Chain A
Amino acid sequence: MKVTFPHMGNCWPAFKVLCTGVGAEVYLPDPNNVKQLDAGLKHSPEWVCFPFKVTLSNFIEALDEGVDNLVMATDCGPCRFGFYYAVQERILRDLGYDFKMYYLPQGDLLDFKWIKLLKALSEDKSLLNYFRIFRTARLFLMKSQLIQTVEKLEGKIRCYEVNKGDTTHTLNKCIQLIDDANTFNELNKLRKRIKNEFDKIEINKRDNNEILKVGLSGEIQVTLDPFVNHDIKRKLGELGCEVHMNLSLYDWIKHKFHVNFHRKYLEYLNKSQKNIGGLQMDIGGEAFWVMGEYIDYAQRGFDGFVHIYPFTCMPEITAKSILTKWYGNKYFDIPPIFFGFDEHSGEAGLITRLESYVDLLKNKKEKKNNGNGRK
């Protein structure tokens, strides 16, 4: 059985092991790219959000390669994402493809409906198979945790690198290492290996006062996929910002298993700001936690906060409006900046805004450090 799933940045090794672990063969679509995207754009509704278009393009590419089993995640959250797998299935059927669509219900992972998916993906129907399924789940968790480690290190280290491009190189190498390791033992050893790989990067440690610490958060697909967000993490790093990011696949999975205490804390922060308009409930997307992150980074004395979301994403735009108001009214002293992404490929506006934003943060920081700006 040949299976495919859409890309979400560097998360593919984790999804891959979810399929190979139970004995399915995986076709991995090319990383998101302009050429592939054409088909997705052509067949997507105009107003749907960008992640829909990208994932649809992944499916079309795989179907053209002769894959006939698709896996798509779904949610029962309040945003449109819950319907994506169903709409995509109809669009693809209308295009004349013959396939079977599996969905990964991740509304609440503790109801263990995901076992059904893994059972469906494996051809072995014996009782022994349950053992394999849980082994696969554990491999998936370990890999996604390692990916999280790699992505966190990447964001923090890039602004110090001496040779431009080293960090990206190491990142890609580590992701490949994670993909190659397929036993618990190997994965355990990788933890140290990854640290070593990143330690090998030649860095130029600078004064703490000079480095800008920026928090990055937003809708999960947009934040994790460098194609979708025009590599904003790299661009921020190259402009000299230490990028901190808590969002990751592992973070999300933990949240869905109800053991993500960091997110619980972010929810608490949000709820505690009730009198100035903090959200009181999950309204879809990542809005609830994005706002929590903003408060958290503000309290921890970060310099900036970057919020990215798919253009037309209702929940994230709600968060954007509230954050703009908070900063304008000086409830928090950390300037937020917002980027909405869609199919456009021109980067001039994005770069202008990013550069100006980094300059803004620099001036602000210098003023804080020595009492006068721009010197």
Chain B
Amino acid sequence: MVMAENREAEIDKNDNLYLGIDVGSVSTKFAIINDNMELIYSTWARSHGSPIKSVQDGFKEMQNDFIDYESQIRAVGTTGSARYLTKALVGGDIAKTEIIAHAVAASYFVPGVRTILEIGGQDSKVILLENGIITDFAMNSICAAGTGSFLDHQAHRLGIPIEEFGDYAKRSKTDVVIAGRCTVFAESDMIHKQQMGHSKEDIIWGLCNSLVRNYLNNVCKGKKLLPPITFQGGVAANDGIRRAFEKHLGQKIIVHKNFLTMGAIGAAMLAREYIEINNIKTKFKGFNVGEMKFTPKAFNCTDCPNQCEITYVEQDDGTIIARWGDRCGKWTL
């Protein structure tokens, strides 16, 4: 499992701690912040298929360091596409969408931010803010072109590690045009350009440009991107994409040092806010969640011809902690 850990502030015995968990399609992110919004701990790991397992792995990792501080956790927030499942697993207080979480964190760490470009593993989003309030957002709805998974796939095909993508792009000398409308076309264009003898560097830079063009035309269509602009999500690690954005937008693109875990930090902040406003205690189950047994199960509802696939998660004591998958809403817990 690829892991990236980050600790910025020391933990104090009297601190209130807030935990944020962001379970996306490709990676799982944890963040713990204190009252002063300092990052105590954050981690990023690739999730391999099962969100339950990745969350539990993350907890096992944290257990060593934080088991003594368990009582100081005041709130737990979850976000990402598996937010409800995670909330049920760990006993979270709120589950908010990644759009809100990213916006909340970015508006705190990058004061006055007006535009957030967020590209993750399976989706890409743009969020527009004004005075710290979201005014508009958009998300890719049809096409996955330009997301992390596609870049990953292409890096693999070209035989270079994804981490070096940015360096390759930097070394490019000429512009190679690659179709960005669709990943299928992009891929066949790339193969063609390779056969024509273009260098890997040029092709990668061309790919960065075409993905940015596609993102700006599809996701940001009709929206005004005002500075300051930040770039978040896994793909922000890719310097080539950042430079391509700067080239196309003619603006400086800020990449905050915590761009990867911004969603998790936002979730922690939202959880803190929620707990404080409503003045309630957290439902957090504790760090031993990593050792509990959760079994995902499924069945087909046969009450109507839709035959929805209902999935549910059973805890070791037999209680069902989450259930969904129905169109009509009668099974959802």
B is a partner of A: yes
Interfacial residues, chain A to chain B (CB-CB below 8 A)? 30-31, 33-36, 164-165, 168, 227, 230-231, 234, 238, 311, 321, 324-325, 327-329, 335, 339-340, 348-349, 352-353, 355-357, 359-360, 363-364, 367, 373-375
B307 CB–A CB distance under 8 Å: yes
Measured CA separation A31–B305 after assembly (Å): 9
Kindly list the 8 A-B residue pairs having the minimum CB-CB distance in the complex, ordered from nearest. A324-B222, A356-B99, A33-B305, A373-B133, A356-B97, A33-B306, A35-B305, A355-B97
Q: A186 CA to B27 CA in the complex, in Å? A: 60
Give the contacts of B93-109 with A (CB-CB under 8 A).
96-100, 104
Q: Tell whether, in the assembled complex, residue A349 and residue B123 are in contact, meaning their CB atoms are under 8 Å apart.
A: yes
Q: Is the CB of A374 within 8 A of B132?
A: yes
Return the chain A residue nearest B136 by Cβ.
Answer: A335
**Which of A234, A311, A352 lies in contact with B81, CB distance below 8 A?**
A352
Chain B residues with CB under 8 Å of A311's CB are: 142
A149 to B151, CA, bound (A): 51
> A80 to B327, alpha carbons, bound, how many Å?
29
A-B contact pairs, 12 of them (CB 8 A): A34-B306, A168-B328, A168-B329, A327-B136, A352-B97, A355-B97, A356-B100, A357-B137, A359-B97, A359-B100, A374-B132, A374-B273
Question: How many angstroms between the C-alpha atoms of A325 and B141 in the bound complex?
Answer: 19
Interface residue? B196 (CB, 8 A): no
Q: Size of chain B's interface in residues, with CB distance under 8 A?
A: 32
Given A324-B221, A352-B81, the answer on whether A335 and B330 have CB atoms closer than 8 Å is no
Question: Which residues of A sit under 8 angstroms from B137, Cβ to Cβ?
Answer: 353, 356-357, 360
Task: Give the residues from 115 to 143 in chain B that come closer than 8 angstroms, CB to CB, to chain A.
Answer: 123, 131-137, 139, 141-142
* Known A231-B327, A349-B123, A352-B98; contact A34-B305, beta-carbon cutoff 8 A: yes
Measured CB to CB, the closest approach of chain A to B221, in angstroms, equals 7
Closest to A351 in B: B97
Q: How far is it, in angstroms, between the C-alpha of A330 and the C-alpha of B305 when the chains are bound?
A: 46
Asked if B1 is at the interface of the complex by the 8 Å CB criterion, the answer is no
Which chain B positions have C-beta within 8 A of A30? 305
| Residue contact A325 to B277, C-beta cutoff 8 Å | no
B297: Cβ under 8 A from any A Cβ: no
Q: A168-B329, A234-B329 are in contact. List 9 more A-B contacts (CB 8 A).
A: A238-B329, A311-B142, A352-B98, A353-B97, A355-B97, A363-B133, A364-B133, A373-B131, A374-B132
Set of chain B residues within 8 Å of A165, measured between Cβ atoms = 329-330
Q: Are A349 and B97 in contact (CB under 8 A)?
A: no
Chain A residue with minimal CB distance to B96? Answer: A359
Instruction: Give the residues in chain B near A339, CB-CB below 8 Å.
Output: 141
Residue B2 lies at the interface, judged by CB distance under 8 Å to chain A: no
| Closest-CB distance, A348 to chain B (whole angstroms) | 5
Q: In the complex, A219 Cα to B304 Cα: how many Å?
A: 27
Question: A270: shortest Cβ distance to chain B, in Å?
Answer: 19
Cβ B81 vs Cβ A348 within 8 A: yes
For the complex formed, measure the closest distance between the CB of A12 and the CB atoms of chain B, giving whole angstroms.
Answer: 16
B99 and A352 within 8 A (CB)? yes
